[in-house]
Structure 1
Amino acid sequence: MNKKQDTPKSFPWDNPRFKNWVAMMRAEKAVARELTRALAPLDLKIAQLDAMINLYRHPGQSQHDLARRLLVGRSNMTMLLPQLEAQGLLRRESDRKDKRVLRLYLTDEGERRLMQALEVYTTLIDRVMNQSTPEECDRMGDMMRRISEMLKEE
Structure 2
Amino acid sequence: MPGREAMTADKVPEQHSPRLEDQLCFAVYQAGHAFNRVYRSVLAELGLTYPQYLAMLVLWECDGLTVKAMGERLMLDSGTLTPLLKRLEAAGLIRRERDREDERQVRLSLTAQGESLREKGRCVPDSMARALGGALESKGRLLEQLNALRDALLAAAEPA
Into which bin does the TM-score normalised by the smaller protein fall?
A: 0.7 to 0.9
In structure 2, the CA distance between the partners of 1:153 and 1:7, relative to structure 1 (3 Å rule), is closer
Give the partner amino acid of 2:91.
Answer: Q
1:81 paired residue number: 85
Give the percent of matched residue pairs that are identical in Structure 1 and Structure 2.
27
Which structure 2 residue ranges, 5 or more long, are not aligned?
A: none
2:141 paired residue number: 139
Count of residue correspondences: 150
* Structure with the higher fraction of residues in helix conformation: 1
Give the partner amino acid of 2:130.
Answer: R
Q: Normalising by the residue count of structure 1, what TM-score does the alignment of the two structures yield?
A: 0.82
1:60 paired residue number: 64
Is the CA contact (8 Å cut-off) linking 2:66 and 2:107 kept in structure 1? yes
For 2:108, what is the secondary structure of its paired residue?
Answer: strand
1:45 to 45, 49, 59: 49
Is the CA contact (8 Å cut-off) linking 1:94 and 1:102 kept in structure 2? yes
Is the CA contact (8 Å cut-off) linking 1:129 and 1:137 kept in structure 2? no
Distance 1:58 1:104 in 2: 10
In the TM superposition, what whole-angstrom CA distance separates every residue of 1:20-44 from its partner, at most 9, and x where no partner exists? 6534432331121111122123221
Is the CA contact (8 Å cut-off) linking 1:91 and 1:106 kept in structure 2? yes
Distance 2:136 2:71 in 1: 34
Alpha-carbon shift at residue 70 of structure 1 (Å) = 0.7
Alpha-carbon shift at residue 109 of structure 1 (Å) = 0.6
Distance 2:121 2:147 in 1: 24
1:117 paired residue number: 121
Q: Which has the larger radius of gyration?
A: 2
Alpha-carbon shift at residue 131 of structure 1 (Å) = 2.1
1:8 to 4, 10, 13: 13
Q: Relative to structure 2, which stretch is displaced further, 95-104 or 41-50?
A: 95-104
Say whether 1:127 aligns with 2:126: no
Alpha-carbon shift at residue 153 of structure 1 (Å) = 1.9
In structure 2, the CA distance between the partners of 1:23 and 1:149, relative to structure 1 (3 Å rule), is closer
Runs in 1 of length 4+ with deviation above 4 angstroms? Answer: none
Q: 1:23-38 residue pairs with structure 2 within 5 A?
A: 23-38=27-42
Is the CA contact (8 Å cut-off) linking 1:56 and 1:105 kept in structure 2? no
Which structure 1 residue ranges, 5 or more long, are not aligned?
A: none
Q: Relative to structure 2, which stretch is displaced further, 46-55 or 32-41?
A: 32-41
